[in-house]
């Protein structure tokens, strides 16, 4: 009896163990939804549960290597109960893919090109040295002026051509080094991806009747989008259109194919909690370090970090960041970021070929964001049939390289279907049709919407600074249109006029953009000779200044103008300013600013007079601050 009981207990235990035995599944998953933030993206994968019928472990293999592990989320229908979720990295033995060798071959080809360019550069340098060494044109037979003039001109022409060629080769070498840097990063990522299987392990109970769907979501920093606008202004308001575009890019390691895409104005990597304040204490500091107050939190005593971009928000790889007056420096990495030991220097200098050099005072800073403007050399823009705006690395197919994006050409495009959403402090655009964004780091422009918006026009004129009338276009009640902060390409009658910005922190009701000079409005500001004089008395000096301003409308329609000028203000009780005439201008006494707002008909002109008197003591030296 005891034996039978034991066998029965053992049998029941075995049956119980078998019933608790868990199966490991490796279901497939596909990316279905992506929410892209200003920096980063939340990716959602749908897991195929067709073959899952028992309690067990779901292993989702080959996830991107740079996801935020703490952001991992699993959501399921009412037919699946989740027990636990874990992120795991499994070391695997694998052979390097063919792509690895292809990248290595490309790197070697670039290195060969650099060596070739270096050889030519060396030869050019030698030739320059020879020319400069022999630039003394005097011979044993004496000096021949005509021969010297001809030789000098030949010398200048040849030397100029050689130095331009030398500079061009140096630019080519820098571009190739940037490409090698990017490809080496790709090799490193490929190695990690090949030998490390990043995966999510999900434990579930036995599925029941009901919704058995499961989604896995995670945050990745390797994606971004930003707003750009095209403002197209015609000859009248009915022809004015505002195109709202988004430039989207990602290098997460996995292509987003036919996914539901949402663009959000949030940045999860920014601090979301308000800062705290400490007491603001003043003290007498007797000792200084490197000429600056000693402060452990001051950037000049430690490290400065930052990123370098251009005016379009493009990262600049390989920009030189130097401590001013030294050879201490570094270059920006693939993300446009840098980190530099300051060694007590309060100023850094950022240099990048084709861009204006910029000096930044880092006193009291630990991080900076630097935007460089284009210099003499314009960026090369890559235009392809798929809408890529600018290349960050070499493309593997034929492209057309143009200068300055040929912005004068009008694009005939249709906006995609979107759904705008606003909730509390978040705005987003949900793209209603499935969209594809490859993981290649390239930017894809998406025309979100094209809106006909009523515009206002006026001319802004500063005669004392510049006798030019600047045409302005304004969007009244602009906050009703759910605009984002971003750059704006400005077009007037189909011609590109420049770049401006939308700043949603603006407080005015009308958002204004300058479209540049209009020669159809004539501006003159001239001193009136008989009313400009300086009189000396025994204990004082009196200066009389008078100017006439004349604005004439030479256009074939009426225009609105805003004219701004000024009279001086005194910050010294020994200097007195008396305003004599301002032609009914709006006068701000604290600043001395004068404003006239007028409407001018065709061929009409307006005249204004400014007259003021400055009185000061005999020994007072009046200067303009």
Summarize pLDDT for 42-68 with one digit per residue, the tens.
999 999 998 898 999 999 988 887 788
Mean pLDDT for the chain? 77
Residue 144 reports pLDDT greater than 60: no
Confidence of residue 4 (pLDDT cuts 50, 70, 90): very low
Angle (deg, nearest 10), helices 98-133 and 145-195: 160
When the candidates are 1.20.120, 1.10.287, 2.60.40, 2.60.120, the CATH number that belongs to 521-617 is 2.60.40
Q: Are strands 241-250 and 214-233 parallel, antiparallel or unpaired?
A: antiparallel
When the candidates are 2.40.10.340, 2.60.40.1120, 3.40.190.10, 2.40.50.100, the CATH number that belongs to 299-365 is 2.60.40.1120
How high is the pLDDT of residue 345? 74
Least confident piece of the model among 170-179, 255-264, 278-287: 278-287
- The fraction of the chain above a pLDDT of 70, given in percent, is 75
pTM for the whole structure: 0.56
Contact (CB, 8 A) for 170 and 377:
no
How far is 397 from 313, CA to CA, in rounded Å? Answer: 25
Contact (CB, 8 A) for 472 and 255:
no
Q: For residue range 314-370, list pLDDT tens digits in order.
A: 778 778 888 887 767 787 876 788 888 876 678 888 888 667 888 888 877 778 889
Q: How far apart are the first and last CA of the chain?
A: 112
Contact (CB, 8 A) for 518 and 595:
no
Residue 389 reports pLDDT greater than 50: no
In words, the CATH class of domain 98-194 is: mainly alpha
How high is the pLDDT of residue 625? 52
Contact (CB, 8 A) for 443 and 386:
no
Higher pLDDT, 6 or 77: 77
Contact (CB, 8 A) for 264 and 418:
no
Residue 81 reports pLDDT greater than 70: yes
How high is the pLDDT of residue 301? 44
Q: For residue range 565-610, list pLDDT tens digits in order.
A: 999 988 888 888 999 999 999 999 888 999 999 999 999 999 999 9
How far is 128 from 124, CA to CA, in rounded Å? Answer: 6
How high is the pLDDT of residue 2? 41
How far is 16 from 11, CA to CA, in rounded Å? Answer: 8
Measure Cα distances from 543 to 503, 580, 588 in Å: 43, 12, 22
Phi-psi label, residue 210: left if phi above 0, alpha if psi -120 to 50, beta otherwise: left
How high is the pLDDT of residue 171? 85
Contact (CB, 8 A) for 299 and 363:
yes
């Amino acid at each position: 009896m005891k034996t039978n009981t034991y066998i029965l207990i053992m049998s029941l235990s075995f049956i119980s163990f078998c019933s608790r035995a868990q199966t490991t599944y490796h279901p497939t998953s596909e990316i279905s939804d992506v929410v892209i933030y200003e920096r980063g993206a939340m990716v959602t994968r749908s897991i195929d549960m067709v073959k899952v019928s028992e309690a067990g472990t779901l292993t989702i293999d080959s996830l991107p290597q740079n996801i935020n592990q703490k952001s991992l989320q699993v959501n399921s229908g009412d037919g699946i109960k989740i027990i636990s979720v874990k992120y795991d990295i499994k070391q695997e033995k694998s052979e390097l893919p063919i792509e690895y060798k292809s990248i290595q071959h490309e790197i070697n080809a670039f290195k060969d090109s650099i060596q070739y360019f270096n050889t030519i550069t060396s030869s050019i340098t030698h030739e320059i040295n020879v020319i400069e060494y022999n630039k003394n044109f005097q011979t044993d037979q004496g000096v021949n002026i005509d021969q010297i003039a001809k030789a000098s001109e030949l010398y200048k022409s040849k030397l100029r051509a050689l130095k331009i060629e030398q500079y061009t080769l140096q630019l080519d070498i820098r571009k190739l080094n940037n490409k090698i840097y990017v490809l080496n990063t790709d090799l490193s990522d490929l190695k990690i991806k090949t030998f490390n299987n990043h995966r999510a392990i999900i434990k579930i109970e036995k599925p029941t009747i009901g919704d058995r769907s499961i989604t896995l979501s995670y945050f990745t920093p390797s994606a971004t989008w930003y707003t750009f606008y095209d403002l197209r202004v015609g000859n009248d308001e009915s022809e004015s259109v505002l195109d709202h575009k988004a430039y989207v890019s990602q290098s997460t390691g996995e292509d987003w194919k036919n996914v539901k895409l949402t663009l959000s104005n949030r940045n999860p990597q920014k601090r979301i909690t308000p800062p705290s304040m400490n007491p603001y204490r003043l003290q007498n500091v007797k000792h200084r370090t490197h000429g600056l107050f000693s402060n452990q939190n001051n950037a000049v005593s430690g490290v400065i970090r930052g990123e370098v971009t251009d005016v379009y928000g493009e990262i600049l790889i390989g920009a030189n960041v130097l401590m001013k007056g030294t050879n201490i420096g570094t270059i920006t990495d693939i993300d446009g970021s840098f980190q530099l030991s300051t060694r007590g220097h309060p100023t850094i200098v950022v240099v990048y070929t084709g861009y204006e050099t910029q000096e930044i005072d880092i006193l009291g800073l630990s991080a900076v964001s630097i935007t460089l403007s284009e210099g003499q050399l314009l960026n090369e823009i890559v235009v392809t049939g798929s809408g890529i705006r600018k290349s960050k690395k070499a493309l593997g197919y034929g492209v057309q390289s143009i200068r300055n994006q040929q912005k004068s050409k009008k694009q005939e495009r249709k906006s995609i279907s979107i759904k705008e959403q606003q909730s509390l402090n978040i705005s987003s655009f949900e793209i209603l049709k499935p969209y594809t964004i490859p993981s290649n780091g390239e930017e894809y422009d998406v025309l979100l919407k094209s809106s006909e918006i009523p515009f206002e026009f006026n001319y802004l004129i500063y005669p004392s600074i510049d006798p030019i009338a600047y045409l302005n276009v304004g969007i009244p009640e602009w906050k009703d249109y759910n605009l984002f902060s971003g750059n704006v390409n400005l077009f007037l009658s189909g011609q590109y006029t420049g770049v401006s910005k939308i700043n949603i922190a603006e407080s005015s009701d009308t958002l204004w953009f300058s479209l540049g000079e209009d020669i159809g409005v004539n501006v003159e500001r001239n001193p009136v000779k008989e009313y400009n004089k300086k009189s000396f008395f025994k204990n004082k000096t009196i200066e009389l200044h008078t100017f006439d301003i004349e604005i004439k409308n030479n256009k074939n329609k009426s225009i609105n103008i805003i004219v701004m000028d000024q009279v001086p203000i005194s910050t010294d009780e020994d200097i007195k300013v008396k305003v004599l005439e301002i032609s009914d201008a709006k006068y701000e006494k604290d600043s001395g600013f004068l404003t006239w707002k007028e409407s001018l008909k065709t061929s009409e002109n307006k005249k204004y007079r400014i007259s003021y008197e400055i009185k000061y003591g005999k020994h007072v030296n009046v200067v303009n601050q």
